[in-house]
Amino acid sequence: MPENCENSSEYDTAEFDQPRYTGKCKWFNVLKGFGFIIAEGFDEDFFVHQTEINMKGFRSLDEGERVSFCIRIRKEGKGREAYQVGPEDPEKKLMGSRIHPLGKSKDKLVRCFKCGKFGHHFAQKCKKFEVPGKCCYNCGSVDHLLSACPIKSPKPTIDVPNIVNDKTNSF
């Protein structure tokens, strides 16, 4: 980890030979990719974006994680931000948040509309019922769907007392 921070060409402020500061992560939103760092010796929190975190893989910070960083003025004029964020101890690596959002590419269970089971297949690839088109996943018939299945067991009824004729209730 460098002793001083290097200037980024996209920022106009003179940031050469900026000192590194230490602090800890106040909070970090892994879904939105940003959070705030509490720096030692400052009365303000510093914004940190996931693109400024020096780690491999999914970049995030865990709440309370000790970090080392540089400070610069944000482009939007919304205060100051941390950049070149790394571990406080150069011999260690950042741990990052234990929470990782589910990405779009992750496998998730889906419900097959032919067999009704949750799994990793869709109705068009269902092997339980080898019939084209829609079918009832209770009995497998192509003549009707589950809502109209004659084999389906009736729903249990609940005996509800008639409170209209009950003379014990007074309003």
* pLDDT at residue 163, as a whole number: 54
Q: Which parts of the chain are beta strand (E)?
A: 4-5, 18-19, 21-29, 34-39, 45-49, 66-73, 80-87, 110-111, 118-119
Give the start-to-end residue ranges of the domains of the chain: 4-87, 107-158
- Tell me the three state secondary structure of residue 146: helix
Question: What is the CATH code of the structural domain delimited by 107-158?
Answer: 4.10.60
More confident call, 30 vs 17: 30
- Tell me the three state secondary structure of residue 147: helix
- Tell me the three state secondary structure of residue 53: strand
pTM greater than the 0.85 cutoff: no
> How many whole angstroms separate alpha carbon 37 and alpha carbon 108?
34
Write the pLDDT tens digit of every residue in 32-90. Answer: 999 999 999 999 899 999 999 999 988 999 999 999 999 999 887 788 999 999 999 98
Q: Which CATH class is domain 4-87?
A: mainly beta
- Tell me the three state secondary structure of residue 52: helix
> How many whole angstroms separate alpha carbon 103 and alpha carbon 16?
37
